[in-house]
Structure 1
Amino acid sequence: MSGSGAPSTAGAVPPVRVDGGRLGEVGARPALPRYLASLWDYRSFILFDSRSRIAGATSTNALGRVWLVLNPILDGAAYYFVFHVLLGAGRGVPNFIAYLIIGVFLFRYTTQAITNGSRSISGNLSIVRAFRFPRATLVLATNIREFLLFVPTLIVMIVLVLLIPPLEPITWRWLLLIPLLALQTLFNIGLSLLLARFVARWADLSNLIAFGMRIWLYMSAVFFSASRFEHVPVVNTVMHLNPMYCVLDIARQSLLYATDADPMRWVVLFAWTALLLLVGSVVFWQAEEEYGEDR
């Protein structure tokens, strides 16, 4: 023991230096590339959430998943009666019944995906406030759920096209439905991300989105031919720049008429999809720290 009374340092634990350069604020928004990369880590959650909500949604009805097919069929029957039988909008359109079926089924898919995707945050506030995770996973899960719900509807659509006369031959162009649906799904995700940001802040916007989807339906040549507007240059141009018209035209040309759609349909659809994925991801990410806050 030292006579000076100073404490002995024998056996003392040396100080540990911590590099705080990589530390960040808890809950802070990560950089966009890191944020997007982190979504892959939550792929199991995205798939589980999609499948569990499908089971829950269809278990409350007596007919269950049968309604997934009945709803678009009933819609198509109503549109056929009103627009073809009463208004004659389908006159001059070859195989109008199949033309209408493709339009109704594919447009309904985008309607459901975007409407529900835009509510992914506002409709799951309890989860958003309770757990820390990339909020974009909820938008992705909703869109994957809508795609899985659409698969049996897509099968019925193809069967109806094959069975309803005049019978259409199966050609290699039917395979174009695969990249077309991939682009349509990515388009749905991009627009859902963009709209979810604003619906999370102003929930009343969801009502305007539902109204906007109905207007979009009437502007996409779902139950009439776009050729009737060829003499109106402005309307014709707007129609050809409409991404959903491009989806429907590509599907109809491939499945019904065994011809190649105008290449510009693919260009317009791809451009809209890339733009919305980019803008939607950035806009959604910018509000990552705000989701779930009381207003």
Structure 2
Amino acid sequence: MTGSEARTATRAPVRHHRVSADGLARVGGRPPLGAYLRSLWDYRSFILFDSRSRIASGNSVNSLGRLWMVLNPILNGATYYFVFGLLLGTGRGIENFVAYLIVGVFMFRYTSQAIGAGSRAISSNMAIVRAFRFPRATLVLATNMRELLVFLPTLATMVVLVLVIPPLEHITFLWLLLIPLLLLQTLFNVGLSLLLARLVARWADVSNLVNFGTRIWLYLSAVFFSIERFENHPALVTMMHLNPMYCVLDIARQSMLYGTVAPLERWLVILAWTTVLLVVGTVVFWRAEQSYGEER
């Protein structure tokens, strides 16, 4: 037997070991929806910190600072009162039209500001999205948290104005309905923001359509007129009753101004819209998680 034959005979057999891929995930891949939602809770401190810091930095360049958080809706309300209340007379027949307008302007502005900023949460933070790895939905949540924190002093101002501007209103236990109403409105804003943020991140021009659509929505939500003027147009009235923002404003006005409980249908409409938008918005946004920050 030659030397080479001896070495071949004594060589140990080669064993092939299979490596399990269990527990491995593609880098940059989309996590399962359940894991994704759990990760958002892990980033709760970041969401709160980001919302607070942006409020502080946003007001630091203005001499009046955070006072503008209250002045802006007041000035908007005064403008609408002059145009629609005095010039166009849309307040005829509406009891306590000034308070009616205040509630409409303040409450609608909260949603319009939230979805406007929320829809741009990804597109306006591309540097962060491309530099760090984190669940992108935290940017949308932080934006809506910021708008909620901004709205709280505005809400307090709304309450004070309703109480001090004649004819004076009085606080009743029905005012407590503002708490669940604000919760539903905030969740509604989050769901719609998630859906719009996905669209704006994919097509930047949608941002302009959001601004245009919000303006039309304002005129269709009975902010500065009463729905009773359209009682001869049942189709239009039905469309208004299915408008989530009209339902929000009607619940707030009935509770604060007229001492009555809004029909149950108003609560069901806003609850249905909120549930659908939260589910659809979350799924649509999550499915595109790995695409945010890509060059287009």
Category of TM-score, reference length = shorter chain: over 0.9
The secondary structure found in structure 2 opposite 1:143 is helix
Match of 1:230 in 2: 231
Cα distance in 2, alignment partners of residues 164 and 264 from structure 1: 30
1:17 Cα deviation after fit: 8.8
Match of 2:90 in 1: 89
Match of 2:127 in 1: 126
Please list, as runs of the form range in 1=range in 2, the aligned pairs for 1:284-295 lying within 5 A after superposition.
284-295=285-296
Match of 1:11 in 2: none
Cα distance in 2, alignment partners of residues 63 and 18 from structure 1: 64
Residues 8-62 of structure 1 deviation map (CA, whole Å, 9 limit, x = unaligned): xxxxxxxx99653111111110111111111001001111110110000010111
Please list, as runs of the form range in 1=range in 2, the aligned pairs for 1:1-295 lying within 5 A after superposition.
19-295=20-296
- Letter in structure 1 aligned against 2:287: Q
- Letter in structure 1 aligned against 2:201: A
Match of 2:14 in 1: none
Cα distance in 1, alignment partners of residues 228 and 180 from structure 2: 26
The secondary structure found in structure 2 opposite 1:29 is coil
Cα distance in 1, alignment partners of residues 131 and 19 from structure 2: 30
- Letter in structure 1 aligned against 2:234: P
31-40 vs 124-133, which moves further? 31-40
Q: Gaps spanning 5+ residues in structure 1: where?
A: 8-15
Shift in CA distance, 18/41, structure 1 to aligned 2, threshold 3 Å: farther
- Letter in structure 1 aligned against 2:165: I
Cα distance in 2, alignment partners of residues 91 and 165 from structure 1: 16
Cα distance in 2, alignment partners of residues 19 and 178 from structure 1: 52
1:104 Cα deviation after fit: 0.2
The secondary structure found in structure 2 opposite 1:65 is helix
- Letter in structure 2 aligned against 1:239: M
TM-score (normalised: structure 1): 0.94
- Letter in structure 2 aligned against 1:47: L
Aligned length: 286
1:79 Cα deviation after fit: 0.5
Q: Gaps spanning 5+ residues in structure 2: where?
A: 1-5, 12-16
Cα distance in 2, alignment partners of residues 169 and 161 from structure 1: 9
Residue identity over aligned pairs, in percent, reads 70
Give the ranges of 4+ consecutive aligned residues of structure 1 lying more than 6 Å apart after TM superposition.
4-7
Residues 118-163 of structure 1 deviation map (CA, whole Å, 9 limit, x = unaligned): 0000000000000111000000000000000111100000000111
The secondary structure found in structure 1 opposite 2:29 is coil
The secondary structure found in structure 2 opposite 1:289 is helix
Match of 1:10 in 2: none
TM-score (normalised: structure 2): 0.94
Cα distance in 1, alignment partners of residues 173 and 39 from structure 2: 38
The secondary structure found in structure 2 opposite 1:168 is coil
The secondary structure found in structure 2 opposite 1:50 is helix
1:267 Cα deviation after fit: 0.2
The secondary structure found in structure 1 opposite 2:139 is helix
